[in-house]
Amino acid sequence: MVDSEIIGLFFERSEQAISELANKHGTACRQVARNILNDDRDVEECVNDAYLGVWNAIPPHRPNPLSAFVCRIVRNLSVKRYHSNAAIRRNSNYDVALDELEACLAAPISVEDDVAANELTRHINAFLATLDKESRMIFVCRYWRADSVAEIAEQFHMTSNNVYVRLSRTRDKLKQHLMKEGFLA
């Protein structure tokens, strides 16, 4: 079933919409959550909560693409769950990915500073637009989806060392870009 038909089922408030969404995008949703959480029970709970979030958002929204919409909800829920679990245990995969980016970003942005966060997002998006497609996809796989370096290497048919080098160079370019834009001193 294509995404527009699934969205149509949501607009009809048909319960089949959830099962069709799960059939088509469930694997990607679970992978995004698993990369952040590493706990199957938390993963399933976040994915199910995301389905409820999609149910509540459609209508009125008509997301395009649907996969990015549902994966973003899963990611946001997973990050919230990760932070709530952080006091109890650490998840090394996600921590490593965040630590890699930490050197490129300014001091942590407070929740109250939405304007600065939006400006930073705009500059990061502008930077990503300057990258070639493969470098941009590798960056997004690592820092948005939290894929492991081994998974990225397999997906792009390269060695793990090559992925590490490309990520390192991209982070250096990002740091230079953000310095030029005044986000880093």
Of residues 101 and 26, more confidence is placed in 26
47 membership: H or E segment, kind and range: helix 40-57
What is the number of residues in the chain? Answer: 185
Report whether 156 contacts 167 (CB < 8 A): no
In a domain, 16, yes or no: yes
In a domain, 135, yes or no: yes
For position 18, which CATH number holds? Answer: 1.10.1740.10
Report whether 146 contacts 96 (CB < 8 A): no
Last residue of a domain, one of 23, 51, 86: 86
Cα–chain center distance at 154? 19
pLDDT digits (tens, 9 = 90+) for 39-63: 899 999 999 999 999 999 998 889 9
- Confidence at residue 95, expressed as pLDDT on a 0 to 100 scale: 64
pLDDT digits (tens, 9 = 90+) for 90-132: 555 666 676 676 666 655 544 455 666 778 888 888 999 999 9
Q: How far is CA 147 from CA 35, 54, 182, in A?
A: 6, 23, 29
Q: Do residue 38 and residue 102 come from a single domain?
A: no
Last residue of a domain, one of 86, 114, 144: 86
Q: What is the DSSP secondary structure assignment for residue 182, as one 8-state letter?
A: T
Q: Do residue 97 and residue 112 come from a single domain?
A: yes
Q: Which domain holds residue 64?
A: 3-86
Q: Do residue 69 and residue 99 come from a single domain?
A: no
User: Tokens representing 173?
Assistant: 């370019």
Last residue of a domain, one of 34, 52, 86: 86
Q: Do residue 49 and residue 128 come from a single domain?
A: no
Q: Do residue 29 and residue 81 come from a single domain?
A: yes
Cα–chain center distance at 58? 21
Q: Do residue 80 and residue 8 come from a single domain?
A: yes
